[in-house]
A and B are shown apart, each in its own frame.
Chain A
Amino acid sequence: AQKITQTQPGMFVQEKEAVTLDCTYDTSDPSYGLFWYKQPSSGEMIFLIYQGSYDQQNATEGRYSLNFQKARKSANLVISASQLGDSAMYFCAMRESDNYGQNFVFGPGTRLSVLP
């Protein structure tokens, strides 16, 4: 079974508008972390935002915020005021506890295209 699901293979958004990228996850571990990464066409993976399973508040980092709904097991990324440079692949990832800590599981990604 997929541990991380991203149901939107591709998304389009108009410049300056907000966009939500969906992510649902599956775990029975009470302690886990959720991450979003951006991958531009150049290929490097850029960390955007982190949410811990015990965090009471939704994470925010500049124009990025994470809509964390624990009961629904969803961790959607919200990008406000989209910019052309936001066009990229976006990956949701989860870290579960294990013996040596911090294996990551990645979703299949969502390709975001920002239109001028």
Chain B
Amino acid sequence: DVKVTQSSRYLVKRTGEKVFLECVQDMDHENMFWYRQDPGLGLRLIYFSYDVKMKEKGDIPEGYSVSREKKERFSLILESASTNQTSMYLCASSVRGGYEVYNEQFFGPGTRLTVL
């Protein structure tokens, strides 16, 4: 059974704290993604990684960084959490394939982060 796991379902942090969100996939996927989900805005891409130690900025990278030291693990880091980073964070993974290759994203259960 394929799986993407995230370290926490719920997290409460204080403004200014450094926050780590961890994501692990067991499908040997090359691509991994971090999204945030806010009501009415859908999912917005923060960062993605197509290989170990490789990363690309998504649509809203400000205030975030990422780390991918191993293929199966992709971490999202909030260097100094702020209240406007209160959101649902979703991790996903996919194979890297040609443009016509069926290539869905598999999602983790999400982490609901509250910054006070």
> Bound state CA distance, A45 and B41, in angstroms?
16
Interface residues on B, range: 20 to 34
In the complex, what residue of chain A is closest to B31 when comparing beta carbons?
Answer: A102
Interface residues on A, range: 20 to 34
Which residues of chain B from 61 to 93 have any CB-CB distance to chain A below 8 Å in the complex?
A: 88, 90, 92
B48 lies within 8 A of A103 (CB): yes
B96 lies within 8 A of A91 (CB): no
Which residues of chain B from 41 to 57 have any CB-CB distance to chain A below 8 Å in the complex?
A: 41-45, 48, 50, 56
A101 lies within 8 A of B42 (CB): no
B103 lies within 8 A of A100 (CB): no
A43 lies within 8 A of B110 (CB): yes
Residues of A within 8 A of B44 (CB): 106
Q: Does A25 contact B (CB under 8 A)?
A: no
Q: Does A50 contact B (CB under 8 A)?
A: yes
Residues of B within 8 A of A93 (CB): 43
Q: Does A31 contact B (CB under 8 A)?
A: yes
Query: How many contacts between A and B, using CB within 8 angstroms?
Result: 73
A50 lies within 8 A of B102 (CB): yes
Interface string of A13-47 (1 = CB under 8 A from B): 00000000000000000011101010000111101
> Bound state CA distance, A32 and B112, in angstroms?
31
How far, in Å, is B109 (CB) from chain A's closest CB?
5
B31 lies within 8 A of A45 (CB): no
Residues of B within 8 A of A42 (CB): 109
Which residues of chain B from 96 to 114 have any CB-CB distance to chain A below 8 Å in the complex?
A: 96-100, 102-110, 112
B103 lies within 8 A of A102 (CB): yes
Which residues of B pack against A, CB within 8 Å? 31, 33, 35, 40-45, 48, 50, 56, 58, 88, 90, 92, 94, 96-100, 102-110, 112
Could you name 18 residue pairs across A and B whose Cβ atoms are closer than 8 Å? A35-B105, A42-B109, A43-B110, A44-B107, A44-B109, A45-B107, A47-B104, A50-B102, A54-B100, A100-B31, A100-B50, A100-B96, A101-B50, A101-B97, A101-B103, A104-B33, A106-B35, A106-B44
